[in-house]
Structure 1
Amino acid sequence: MAVTDEAIEKIKDMIVSGALRPGDRLPKESELAADLGLSRNSLREAVRALSLIRILDVRQGDGTYVTSLDPQLLLEALSFVVDFHRDDTVLEFLAVRRILEPAATAMAAAHIGERELDALTARLEALGTQPSVEELVACDLEFHRSIVRASGNSVLCSLHDALSGPTTRARIWRGLTQQDAVSRTLHEHRAILTALRARDAEAARSWATVHIASVEEWLRSAL
């Protein structure tokens, strides 16, 4: 194991064990390096690496702190990594969305408020029957994010945000090339909303699955 990796593991162990808790300030560099049996250079590199993935917060002139370790904060690093996806992995991202998003939609059926449902309905109605592809995709992104957020699960919401980006170009491509893509998307959105208003979790799950699977099916045939 590289020296820096060893230093990262030792700091991680302190956090996992509870020796360092969210919001705690790390001991002085010289003290921590001595306690962990590390050189100050390797400790410094470990702190830099852990700050990049939002585990630690380095405050100039104040010290280094453990962050809140909130899932949304930690999963920002996943969003960064996902940005480097290759086009040939988009189907895999869609497959993961097809696994996670219907479950989140079913959960939302029990939690989403009438005001949120009214806002989603109003946004769909404002699109009309023949929106541009760009308008439709922008609405689609916000539509799904709002529903996943309504599931009440911050981890699911963060995962959805990370996974949604790589599929945006495929959604635009579909809207431009598939004859009935716009009407199908609008129909499926309305069906999802109807299920959510009825508090029918299984219908909401089914329609969300159909909705994502239709994009996946089209992309597989297009590729």
Structure 2
Amino acid sequence: MKIKKVSVVDQVSEALKDNILNHTWEPGDKLPSEGDLADTFGVNRLSVRMALQKLNTLGLLETRVGDGTYVRKFSMAPYMNEIADIYMDEKHLNDVRELRNLLEGEAMRIAVSSSTEEEREELRQCYEQYEEKRSQLKEDVDNERLMDELAEADFEFHHQVIRMSHNDLYIDIYLMTKKAIVSHIRELLESRIRKEILWEEKSGKREDEHMEIISGICNGDMEALKRARERMLKIQLIPALDE
């Protein structure tokens, strides 16, 4: 087996990355100067500068001219948005629906016990914004711009549920696939919004999964959350996954 030679720059970048991953430096923290880092690692400043550039490229650090280098809160979302079109065909949209079922379902369950009253109020505000867009669309149901805005508002509602889980990986995955999720939401809206509006006008009634989700999270009603998820995503839940 050949012994791999690791460059000084790679060694410094790994040491810097370790300090970020083990929370020696938190997001927002300012790193020591290049000179101080060079003294700490026993290397020249050029090696430190190249290591910092490498971590800047990865999105772990942000160097501000005339100010210094800061730790960034890392997210995969900007990278994944570049390849999101892969998930836009019919086959992959079904994959997106299954992903939403898993992520949103688990986030709802966690949010019951982990969300704060402030976060729940933010969820109610997301719902109000959704309702405002929906009311506008009811007056002009063929308006493509309003349909796009409603899909975005719907995404923000569910994104808030994901945030209420306090799971950074869930949040990152959800944002990574935002473009595909919004497309899936729009597809669902287009397939049923006209029928829903006609039903409301004739019956004076409305089944509102969003309010059921809010109520389910606030009251710890897991059955209500399952029902809302099933209707919203047009799925048949697998009992073993929800018991």
TM-score (ref. length: structure 2): 0.62
Deviation at 1:10, TM superposition (A): 0.8
**Within-5 A mapping of 1:112-191:** 112-113=120-121, 115-116=124-125, 117-128=127-138, 130-150=141-161, 152-153=164-165, 155=168, 156-169=170-183, 172=186, 180-183=191-194, 190-191=208-209
> What's 1:84 paired with?
82
Change (3 A) 1:31 1:97: same
Structure with larger Rg: 2
> CA, structure 1 residues 24+141, in 2 after alignment: closer, same or farther (shift >3 Å)?
closer
Matched, 1:30 2:3: no
Match of 1:70 in 2: none
Please state whether the residue corresponding to 2:208 is helix, strand or coil: helix
- Closer, same or farther: CA 189–131 of 1 in aligned 2, 3 Å: farther
CA distance, structure 2, for counterparts of residue 88 and residue 64 of structure 1: 35
Q: Given that residues 19 and 25 in structure 2 are in contact (C-alpha distance below 8 angstroms), is that contact kept between their aligned partners in structure 1?
A: yes
Quickly say closer, same or farther: Cα 1:59–1:94, change in 2 above 3 A.
same
Alignment RMSD: 3.8
Greater relative contact order structure (CA < 8 Å, 6+ sep): 1
Shift of 1:208: 2.6
Post-superposition Cα deviations, 1:91-113, rounded to whole Å, max 9, x if no partner, equal 24443322112233455567533
Cα deviations by residue, 1:11-51 (Å, 9 ceiling, x for unpaired) = 01223445445544333323423432545334222212323
Unpaired segments ≥5 residues, structure 2: 200-205, 236-243
| TM-score (norm. length: structure 1) | 0.66
Query: What is the distance in 2 between the residues matched to 1:140 and 1:37?
Result: 54
Name the residue aligned to 1:220.
none
Listed one character per residue, the Cα deviations across residues 111-143 of structure 1 (whole Å, up to 9, x for unaligned) are: 533953455444433321835354234212212
Which amino acid in structure 2 is aligned with residue 143 of structure 1?
D
Aligned to 1:14: 19
